[in-house]
Chain A
């Protein structure tokens, strides 16, 4: 089954404790992206990757890091999480940049 998986699905952590949210797709897609979704602000792009070792900032990259060492994986790293990073995070992938994206199930992150 074609899918995008994210782990963990739910995470409660404390300020400053480094964390990684994993994202993996099994569709051999080149393009992957991370979003955060907040009430009233909609989905905002954090980072995206056009291919292995090619990443670029989206609209809200501050406080986040990404890497794309393998085509299927695109982890999101929060080196020092803060409460304003409490949000619902989605990973997505598509065959090319312009076309339909497949979204993962989301990760609900709470930073206290």
Chain B
């Protein structure tokens, strides 16, 4: 069964801490892995990863993909209260005759002052 599993399910940290969020997947014909941030309503795009070992970085956020071990991590350094959100991981792959996309259930991050 194709699946995307995120861990931990939830996390509480203090401002200034560094956090690592995990996303592992089991799909055939992998194409890409995407990270989104969901605050109040609609998810917003963070990163897309297609190649192993190449770090994507945006400010205090960074992400890397390991296609051999089938996982990705999202790092957030010097966390701020505005980083509090649900972080979603999604994987696109080619399933049979059609393109597929599945999301993990997300990691809820709470950053306390």
Contacts and interface: CB of A to CB of B under 8 A. Distances in A.
A100 B103 contact: no
B53 interface: no
A106 interface: yes
B88 A104 contact: no
B102 to A, nearest CB: 7
Interface string A22-41: 00000000000101000011
Interface stretch (A13-21, A42-50, A67-75, A78-86): A42-50
Interface stretch (B14-22, B40-48, B59-67): B40-48
Contact of B31 (A35, A98, A100): A98
B44 A45 contact: no
A97 B99 contact: yes
Interface string B49-61: 0100000000000
Contacts, number: 54
Contacts of B100: 45, 58-59
Contacts of B13: none
Given A43-B103, A56-B98, A59-B102, A102 B88 contact: no
Interface string B94-113: 00001111111110000000
B34 interface: yes
Nearest to B32: A98
Contact of A105 (B41, B48, B88, B99): B41
15 contacts: A33-B101, A35-B103, A42-B105, A44-B102, A44-B103, A45-B100, A50-B99, A90-B42, A97-B92, A97-B101, A98-B92, A99-B32, A102-B45, A103-B43, A105-B42
Q: Which 8 A-B pairs have the closest CB atoms?
A: A100-B45, A42-B105, A103-B42, A43-B103, A106-B41, A42-B103, A98-B32, A103-B43
Interface of A: 33, 35, 40-45, 48, 50, 56-59, 90, 97-106
Interface of B: 31-32, 34, 41-45, 48, 50, 88, 90, 92, 98-106
